[in-house]
Amino acid sequence: MKVTLSVIKADIGGYVGHSSSHPDILVLARESLEKAKKQGLLIDYHVTACGDDLQLIMTHQQGELNERIHRLAWDTLKAGTELAKKLKLYGAGQDLLADAFSGNVKGMGPGVAEMEIEERPSEPVIIFMADKTAAGAWNLPLYKMFADPFNTIGLVIAPNMHTGFTFEVHDVKGHKKMSFNCPEEIYDMLIFLGAPGRFAVKHVYSRQNNEIAAVSSTERLSFLAGRYVGKDDPVCVVRCQGTFPAVGEVLEPFAHSFIVEGWMRGSHHGPLMPVAVREANPSRFDGPPRVICLGFQLSDGKLIGPRDMFDDPAFDEARRQANQIAYNLRQHGPFEPHRLPLDEMEYTTMPQIMKRLEGRMTEL
C-alpha cells in the first residue's frame, strides 16, 4: 500500500517568549486534523511541539505536495495563529510569510518534509524535530547514519546495506542540488556537508533498491522573507531497519552532542541537546538548541505510537555534554566562535554602526 507521510511545521507563536508552545494551540491543531481524519482525507495524524514550533505529522494517500493536505496544514496553522493572537502569544504567526494559500505551503514559511512510500510488511519510522537551529543541523547525523561505518555497522556487515546510499544535497543559497553516491564520493560530499549554513541534505536513497530512506525540511526562512524571521527549526524523517539503518543506528549520532548554528537570535553556535518531548522548552539563553525524536510503526498508514525515543537515560551523557559545551561557549559572550561570523548572523547592527563611524575610519 502506498502511503505518504507529511510533516509540516511552523512557529505560529511562542509561550513564553520563544521557549515553548501553548497547550491550547496543540488542542486546536488536534481538533482540526481529527476532523480531516473523520472526513477521510487523513489516515492518521499526531500533533506535537518542539519548543515554539507546532508539528503536524500526517499520513494519507494523496502523495507529496498535495494541495488538499497542504491547505489543511495551512488552514490549521492560520487558525492556530488567530488563537495565538487572542492569547497574545509571542510572535503570533511569525513563520507564515504569505497571506493567501497558493497550491502548497512550500516557500510560504512552514517547513515541510514528505515521503511517499510503499509501506513494507513492517515500517518503523523516526521523526526528528529541532528548535533554535537550521536545516544543515541534519548533515552530520545523516552522514553518520548513512555513510559512517563507525556509527552504522550495518554498512559493513548487512548485505542489503553494503551497496551504500545516495545523498541529495541542496545549496540553500544558490537554489541548486547535487547527488553523491556513498561511500565512493564521501570526500567530495563532505566539502559541502561540512558547510551546513549553505548546504543541507534533502533526501537520502538506498542504492540497493532506490527507495527513499530520509527526507528533511530545507527551507531557509531568512532567504524566503529577505530578512530575519527566525531560524528554520527543521524536521527530518528517517525509515529504519531492513535495507535502512536500524533504529539504534539512526539514534546513535545523537549520543554525542554536536555544535549547530542557531540558539539566541539565530546568531550563535551552540550544542544540539537531544531531549524527551517534555524537555523541549529551550530557555537558557533561548536554548541550547533542542532535538526531539518520535518513533512510529506504520500500519496501513496508521501511526502506531509515538515512542519518545530520547526519553532514555542512555542519552543523559549527551545532555550533560551539551550543557558542558553550552557553559564553555557562553563564556565567549559576543565573541566568535560562539557568535556566528558577521555574514552568517541573523541579526546585525553592523551596517548602522559602520555608517555612523564612517568618518572616523581612516586609511592605515
Report the DSSP beta bridge partners of residue 131. 290
Nearest alpha-carbon partner for 324 in 229, 258, 227 = 258
Among 6, 7, 8, 11, binds Mg ion (CB under 5 A): 11
Q: Please indicate whether residue 90 is annotated as part of the active site.
A: no
Would you count residue 306 as binding ligand F6R (CB under 6 A)? no
Find the length of the chain.
364
DSSP, collapsed to helix, strand or coil, labels residue 284 as strand
Residue 17 engages ligand F6R in binding (rule: CB under 6 A): yes
- Binding residues for ligand F6R restricted to 52-91, rule: CB under 6 A: 91
Q: Does 305 bind ligand F6R (CB under 6 A)?
A: no
- Nearest to Mg ion of 11, 249 (CB atom): 11
Supply the DSSP symbol for 172.
Answer: T
Q: How far is the CB of 183 from Mg ion (least distance, A)?
A: 35
Pairing of the two strands 273-274 and 290-299: parallel
Residue 187 designated active-site: no
- Bridge partners of residue 270, in order along the sequence: 260
Residue closer to Mg ion by CB (options 11, 123) is 11
Assess 53 for contact with Mg ion (CB under 5 A): yes
110 or 262, CB closer to ligand F6R? 262
226-245 residues near Mg ion, rule: CB under 5 A: 233
Cell of 343: 555574514
- d(CA 179, CA 164) in angstroms, rounded, equals 13
> Could you confirm whether 148 is annotated as catalytic?
no
Is there binding between residue 14 and Mg ion (CB under 5 A)?
yes
Q: Is 202 exposed, middle or buried (0-12, 13-18, 19+ CB in 10 A)?
A: buried
User: Of these partners, Mg ion, ligand F6R, none, which one is at the site of residue 264 (CB under 5 to 8 Å by kind)?
Assistant: ligand F6R
52 close to 69: Cβ distance less than 8 angstroms: no
**Residue (24 or 116) nearer to Mg ion, CB:** 24
CA gap 113, 125 in Å, rounded: 13
Q: Give the binding site for ligand F6R (CB under 6 A).
A: 17-18, 91, 132, 230-231, 262, 264-266, 286
- The set of catalytic residues is 11, 228, 231
Q: Give the binding site for Mg ion (CB under 5 A).
A: 11, 14, 18, 51-53, 91, 131, 233
